[in-house]
């Protein structure tokens, strides 16, 4: 006997019922509008990538989480876990003809076989904003400003979240100053990123296993006590290229009006190994959730896949954490009515008239919910009044014979009369304004 098929999606995957889609569409619309405000161009790509590209060009942590499979010809493929390697591949394919710097955005569906926690799913959507081919810190400020603009459009206040930023190049300078050889820097970055996630003893032990002398391993971890750029300056002793860049970044962020959301945080390193410069992660102020978004500057990715080396900066902003945070703050994105007018009718005699009115209104740009079977007024108004639409029109034999109907405002119950012919005529005129 066949076993019952589960009605739940595969573990960690997501179904979007209409109420979920309303929220998702509002979020995507807000992301798209912010991207347009900052003049980013849209792009998209296949969800299935070659496993090789993802394995070689994603961060270590992500590689372990890749959903991979072989196609029927034995090609090793994977569902993308992030968009950045794909972006690099697309740019590499047209590097000779594209105009740089370029500013691109995408809303990418990503898959990661992760341990699921609050705010972490195995499938998520990620708004990606990237600027490729621009060295100036204005590029960092531009992607961050676009993200800030979207967050504010979503209804969050600057006090609801903070963007923690750091610079891997600055950390490298500090590592060098405390005597850690360049060959250990990558391991030291990952150690910083693991802080707070796994016990310090484990991090130190792993650093020692990778060849770092014990003293150096513990000094890497003690860096976390540095909480301001002034302390970094003291540690480094003099002005360095990375310090200068941090200063330029802060000045530009000031001019863009986003410095109030920024916090210098030496512990932000990012798990992805391709970052080379500024890195950032945004968190809710109460630190209840995982990162709202994260990103940074990555200078080697294009060169690493065999293209002409080019600097780039970008961020990924997921749909899951922001939805939880908005919910926590009582902002209901899904709470928006999309239908203007509901139309019902009493008997089949009025159905054609109802269809004509609905058609005229739709042609005039209104969103209309036309009932598909005759019904009693009570049943129609009980449906239409349940938050479905802003206004309602009910057509019975009386309206049909008199040629006058009532448009009811469903919020305050007031009614206004309208001649059916006028309504059809006005709508027809609005449809063809040039005629």
What is the spatial distance between Cα 121 and Cα 47, in angstroms, rounded to a whole number? 17
Nearer to ligand HAM, 120 or 331 (CB): 120
Nearer to ligand HAM, 16 or 376 (CB): 16
Kindly state the smallest distance separating residue 393's Cβ from ligand HAM, in Å: 43
Q: Are 223 and 192 in contact (CB under 8 A)?
A: yes
Nearer to ligand HAM, 275 or 394 (CB): 275
Detail the DSSP E strand segments found in 229-272. 262-264
Kindly state the smallest distance separating residue 315's Cβ from ligand HAM, in Å: 5
Helix, strand, coil fractions of the chain, as percent rounded to 5? 45, 20, 35
The 10 Å Cβ neighbour count of residue 108 is 21
Kindly state the smallest distance separating residue 151's Cβ from ligand HAM, in Å: 12
Nearer to ligand HAM, 89 or 121 (CB): 121
Kindly state the smallest distance separating residue 60's Cβ from ligand HAM, in Å: 12
Kindly state the smallest distance separating residue 128's Cβ from ligand HAM, in Å: 5
Kindly state the smallest distance separating residue 224's Cβ from ligand HAM, in Å: 20
Kindly state the smallest distance separating residue 233's Cβ from ligand HAM, in Å: 28
Using CB under 6 A, list all residues that contact ligand HAM: 82, 84, 112, 114, 120-121, 124, 126, 128, 130, 272, 291-295, 314-316, 318, 320-321
Beta strand pairing call for 404-409 and 415-419: antiparallel
What is the spatial distance between Cα 349 and Cα 372, in angstroms, rounded to a whole number? 13
Nearer to ligand HAM, 120 or 185 (CB): 120
What is the spatial distance between Cα 208 and Cα 211, in angstroms, rounded to a whole number? 5
Kindly state the smallest distance separating residue 221's Cβ from ligand HAM, in Å: 22
Kindly state the smallest distance separating residue 409's Cβ from ligand HAM, in Å: 41
Q: Which two tokens stand for residue 113?
A: 């076989």
Nearer to ligand HAM, 321 or 420 (CB): 321
How many helices (H) does the chain have, and how many strands (E)? 17, 16
What is the spatial distance between Cα 206 and Cα 172, in angstroms, rounded to a whole number? 19
| Element containing residue 369 per DSSP (H, E) | strand 368-370
Cα angle: 299, vertex 57, 188; to 5 degrees: 70
Kindly state the smallest distance separating residue 105's Cβ from ligand HAM, in Å: 10
Q: Are 374 and 346 in contact (CB under 8 A)?
A: yes
What is the spatial distance between Cα 229 and Cα 216, in angstroms, rounded to a whole number? 22
Q: What crossing angle do the helices spanning 168-177 and 241-256 adopt, rounded to 10°? A: 150
Q: Are 126 and 314 in contact (CB under 8 A)?
A: no
**The CA-based dihedral angle spanning residues 206, 207, 212, 217, taken in that order and rounded to the nearest 10 degrees:** -130
Nearer to ligand HAM, 322 or 390 (CB): 322
What is the spatial distance between Cα 93 and Cα 86, in angstroms, rounded to a whole number? 11
Nearer to ligand HAM, 258 or 320 (CB): 320
DSSP 305-370: TTS----EEEEEEEHHHHHHHHHHTT--TT----EEEEEEESSGGGHHHHHHHHHHHHHTT--EEE
Nearer to ligand HAM, 126 or 273 (CB): 126
The 10 Å Cβ neighbour count of residue 173 is 17
Kindly state the smallest distance separating residue 125's Cβ from ligand HAM, in Å: 8
Residues 6+ apart with CB under 8 A from 255: 141
Q: Are 400 and 350 in contact (CB under 8 A)?
A: yes
Nearer to ligand HAM, 128 or 166 (CB): 128
Nearer to ligand HAM, 317 or 394 (CB): 317
């Amino acid at each position: 006997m066949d076993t019952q098929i589960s009605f739940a999606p595969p573990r960690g995957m997501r179904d979007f019922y209409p109420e979920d889609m309303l929220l998702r569409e509002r979020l995507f619309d807000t992301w798209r509008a912010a991207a347009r405000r900052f003049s980013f161009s849209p792009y998209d790509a296949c969800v299935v990538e070659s496993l090789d590209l993802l394995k070689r060009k994603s961060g270590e942590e992500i590689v372990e989480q890749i959903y991979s499979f072989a196609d029927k010809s034995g090609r090793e493929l994977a569902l993308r876990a992030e968009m950045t390697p794909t972006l690099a591949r697309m740019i590499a394919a047209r590097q000779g003809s594209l105009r740089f710097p370029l500013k691109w955005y995408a809303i990418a569906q990503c898959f990661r076989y992760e341990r699921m926690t609050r705010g972490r799913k195995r499938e998520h959507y990620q708004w990606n904003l990237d600027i490729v081919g621009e060295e100036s810190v204005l590029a960092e400020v531009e992607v961050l400003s676009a993200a800030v603009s979207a967050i504010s459009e979503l209804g969050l206040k600057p006090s609801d979240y903070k963007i923690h930023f750091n610079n891997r190049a600055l950390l490298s300078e500090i590592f060098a100053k405390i005597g850690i050889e360049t060959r250990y820097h990558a391991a030291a970055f990952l150690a910083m990123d693991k802080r707070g996630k796994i016990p310090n003893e484990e991090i130190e032990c792993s650093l020692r296993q990778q060849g770092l002398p014990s003293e150096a391993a513990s000094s890497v971890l003690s860096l976390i006590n540095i909480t301001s750029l002034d302390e970094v300056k003291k540690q480094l002793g003099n002005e360095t290229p990375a310090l200068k860049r941090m200063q330029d970044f802060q000045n530009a962020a000031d001019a863009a009006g986003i410095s109030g959301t920024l916090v210098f945080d030496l512990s932000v390193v990012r798990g992805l190994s391709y970052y080379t410069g500024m890195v950032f992660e945004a968190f809710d102020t109460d630190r209840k959730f995982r990162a709202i978004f994260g990103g940074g500057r990555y200078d080697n990715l294009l060169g690493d896949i065999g293209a002409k080396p080019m600097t780039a900066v970008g961020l990924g902003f997921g749909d899951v954490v922001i939805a939880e945070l908005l919910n926590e703050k009582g902002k209901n994105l899904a709470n928006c009515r999309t239908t203007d007018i509901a139309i019902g009718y009493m008997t089949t005699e009025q159905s054609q008239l109802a269809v004509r009115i609905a058609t005229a209104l739709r042609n005039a740009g209104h969103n209309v919910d036309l009932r598909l079977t005759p019904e009693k007024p009570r049943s129609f108004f009980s449906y239409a009044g349940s938050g479905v639409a802003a206004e309602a029109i009910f057509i019975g034999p009386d309206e049909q014979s008199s040629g006058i109907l009532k448009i009811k405002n469903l919020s305050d119950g007031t009614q206004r009369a309208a001649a059916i012919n006028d309504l059809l005529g006005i709508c027809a005129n609005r449809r063809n304004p040039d005629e």
